[in-house]
Amino acid sequence: MRIEVDTGRCCGAGMCALTAPAVFDQDEEAGTVLLLTPEPLASQFAAVQEAAQLCPAGAITILEDKA
């Protein structure tokens, strides 16, 4: 799994960092999302998926590996 974030769409709601803090953080100055882990472990998938669904800006894209 790979993740992309669109900081241009991010409105700084912070839902991602609350939901999956190992993967997302927020820039302290800009308030926008920081992607800590672009290629999370499978064990983090559920939290990442939840974060993507909760993001009000639709700024998180999950790209699943084609096995």
Farthest-apart Cα atoms in the chain, separation: 39
Q: Least separation, in Å, of the C-beta of 14 and ligand SF4?
A: 5
Task: Check binding of 50 to ligand SF4 (CB under 6 A).
Answer: no
- What would the two tokens of residue 46 be? 């559920």
Task: Check binding of 23 to ligand SF4 (CB under 6 A).
Answer: no
Task: Check binding of 20 to ligand SF4 (CB under 6 A).
Answer: no
Non-local (6+) Cβ contacts of 25 within 8 A are 17, 33, 34, 36
Residues forming contacts to ligand SF4 in the complex (CB under 6 A) are 5, 10-16, 24, 26, 32-33, 55-57, 59-60
